Amino acid sequence: MSDKIQAIRGMHDILPDRTPHWQHVEAVLRRVMAAYGYREIRLPLVERTELFKRSIGEVTDIVEKEMYTFEDRNGDSLTLRPEGTAGCLRACLEHGLLHNQAHRLWYSGAMFRHERPQKGRYRQFHQLGVEAYGMAGPDIDAELILLCRRLWRELDIAHKLELQINSLGTVEERLAYRGKLVDYFRAHFDRLDEDSRRRLESNPLRILDSKNPELREVIEGAPVLAGELGDASRAHFDGFRKRLDAAGVPYAVNPRLVRGLDYYSRTVFEWVTQELGAQGTVCAGGRYDGLIEQLGGKDSTAVGFALGMERLIELLDEPERFETAAHPHAYLIAAGEETELAGAQLAEAWRDALPALRLQTHCGGGGFKSQFKRADKSGAAVALILGEDELRNRTVGIKFLREEREQSTLSQSELISFLRTII
Ligand code: HAM
């Protein structure tokens, strides 16, 4: 026998007993997106490598060591998308959607990062991404937060998530800050770990994001970016906070929140949970006005976020209820060739009459006993039984599989009314 081929490490199958959880979350996401006027955009999984280098930043973890990059048969360097913001902007620029226009968009799907897999961190994972273009003020930043809050409420997980916010200022403000930060960390060079020493030259802001507990103290003493913000950035951040306050959204200002992608400016935020251990960031995003010009577009503005579907689903309480909700309502048992033929036709008529009915008909033969076993395993509430007697008398036997109720018989003409009561 040959060896079995297994899935790639960090890339998971989502089996049928888990897909109901996903479908539930996806249905809520769609509803909430529509409630705020966001429209879906569908994007390729593969883009030119250059797109991610130019947008996410050459000296970020993602671009330096996590991308799935390959040469295609034409010799072009392509990359499996590690995130959706760059591709979404590329598509909108390419199709002229950004010129003097405002758009509210969302996308969902698989993203790929060659990270070290652990709970909550995978090499193929799924995001819902939301991007809003052409709106410069803090009103749209706040709208994204309200949209998130509604998602958490509808999914019953609002009590598990906390909002952290910060402002990264403009590119110029960040440069001034960067200088001060490098001076500070140089003065404390002996206290930095290897990773941070390397970042000191390439991307010193990321040192603030280090998860190494030995660095906590030196990071806490570092200067904060808030001190470098100019009037316009400060006003934007104040306007954002004012709107969150007015809507009663609690948040913490975290001056160390810097994000792992380079394209952000001004508002950044993360929704974090204590329930998922080290991978506690469920949703993250911010404003990235400068990226449009960087990718060859005209001056416009952009803000967005993405949430990790695996992490979000992990937070759901009693997820089994979604699986139960997807079980068939009824399972049709029909032993013998003649009854099976008649059963298949009856089943079609019932499905015609009741489009919401979830009815499984037994296939694959076997006696009553083995068919009952399958009926039970299917999770159906009711077994419908068609034997030779029932066929002759134009009746159907009814057996409740999850309740102590006596088996009964109904005429075939009454059956649709009965089925309506169990949908
Ligand atoms: P990000 O912070 O890289 O931002 O990812 C957003 C979310 O995706 C994370 O908070 C996390 O929930 C999930 N995620 C990231 N990597 C993994 C992984 N390896 N396994 C499981 N889940 C993961 C972005 O991707 C930006 N494009 C967000 C954005 C949109 N900013 C503006 N617009």
Spatial CA neighbour of 160 closest among 283, 256, 260, 22: 283
Predicted pLDDT of residue 46: 98
Where would I find the H helices in 157-304?
171-187, 194-202, 216-220, 231-246, 290-294
pLDDT surpassing 90 at residue 2: no
Ligand 1 atom 29, closest CA? 305
CA distance 287 to 266: 6
Q: How confident is the model at residue 48 (pLDDT cuts 50, 70, 90)?
A: very high
The answer, yes or no, to whether any atom of ligand 1 lies below 6 A from the CB of 285, is yes
CB of residue 108 inside a 6 A radius of ligand 1 = no
Tell how far the Cα of 129 is from the centroid of ligand 1, in angstroms: 9
Q: Is 87 in the pocket of ligand 1 (CB under 6 A)?
A: no
> How many angstroms is it from 270 CA to the middle of ligand 1?
10
Contact 151, 133 (CB under 8 A): no
Give the model confidence (pLDDT) of 140-166 as tens digits: 999 999 999 999 999 999 999 999 999
For the chain, give the mean pLDDT: 95
For Cα atoms 251, 254, 257, give the angle at the middle one, nearest 5 degrees.
Answer: 120
Residue from 38, 135, 143, 86 nearest 264 by CA: 86
- pLDDT at residue 323, rounded to an integer: 87
Q: What are phi and psi of 372, to 5 degrees?
A: -60, -40
pLDDT higher than threshold 90 for residue 67: yes
* Distance in angstroms (rounded) separating the CA atoms of residues 301 and 52: 19
Alpha carbons 29 and 85: distance in angstroms, whole number: 18
> Which DSSP symbol is given to 56?
H
* Ligand 1 binding pocket includes 305 (Cβ within 6 Å): yes
- What is the distance in A from the centroid of ligand 1 to the CA of 308? 6
Greater model confidence, 99 or 73? 73
Q: What pLDDT sits at residue 5?
A: 96
Listing DSSP states for 106-117 in one string gives EEEEEEE-----
Instruction: Count Cβ atoms within 10 A of the Cβ of residue 121 and give its class: 0-12 exposed, 13-18 middle, 19 or more buried.
Output: middle
Ligand 1 centre from 379 Cα, in Å?
36
What is the per-residue pLDDT for 221? Answer: 92
Tokens of 95: 């199709």
Q: What is the pLDDT of residues 174-217, one digit of tens each?
A: 989 999 999 999 999 999 999 899 889 888 988 988 888 999 99
How far does residue 83's CA lie from ligand 1's centre (Å)?
7
Distance from C-alpha of 387 to C-alpha of 243, rounded to nearest angstrom: 66
Residue 129 has pLDDT above 90, yes or no: yes
259 pLDDT exceeds 90? no
Q: Does residue 282 have its Cβ closer than 6 Å to ligand 1?
A: yes
Q: Is 281 in the pocket of ligand 1 (CB under 6 A)?
A: yes
DSSP, res 190: G
Q: Determine the residue of 83, 121, 131, 288 to mutate for testing ligand 1's pocket, defined as the one with the most ligand atoms within 8 A of the Cβ atom.
A: 83
255 by Cβ neighbours in 10 Å (0-12 / 13-18 / 19+) ranks as middle
**Burial (CB count <10 Å: 0-12, 13-18, 19+), residue 323:** middle
What is the structure's pLDDT at 192?
93
| Average pLDDT, integer, range 402-416 | 95
Q: How confident is the model at residue 227 (pLDDT cuts 50, 70, 90)?
A: confident
What's the one-letter identity of residue 61? D
Quick one: which H or E segment has residue 142?
A: helix 138-154
Task: State the pLDDT at residue 319.
Answer: 83
- Whether the Cβ atoms of residue 306 and residue 84 lie closer than 8 Å to each other: yes
- In whole angstroms, give the CA distance from residue 179 to residue 173: 10
pTM of the model as a whole:
0.94
Mutate to test the pocket of ligand 1, among 67, 281, 292, 303 (most ligand atoms within 8 A of CB): 281
**How far apart are the C-alpha atoms of 366 and 379, rounded to whole Å?**
19
Task: Kindly tell me if the per-residue pLDDT of 1 is higher than 80.
Answer: no
Q: Is the pLDDT of residue 32 over 80?
A: yes
CB 391 within 8 A of CB 339: yes
User: How many percent of the chain have pLDDT more than 70?
Assistant: 100
Return the ligand 1 atom nearest residue 306 CA.
28
Helices assigned H by DSSP within 326-414:
337-353, 368-378, 388-393
Percent over 90 (pLDDT), the chain = 85
User: Closest Cα to residue 405, out of 386, 422, 392?
Assistant: 422
CB of 83 closer than 6 angstroms to any ligand 1 atom: yes
* Per-residue model confidence (pLDDT) at position 110: 98
In this prediction, residue 298 carries a pLDDT of 87
Distance CA 163, CA 186 (A): 32
For the chain, the distance separating the N- and C-terminal CA atoms, rounded to the nearest angstrom, is 46
Please tell me the predicted confidence (pLDDT) of residue 40. 98
CA-nearest residue for atom 22, ligand 1, is: 308
Ligand 1 center to residue 124 CA distance, Å? Answer: 12
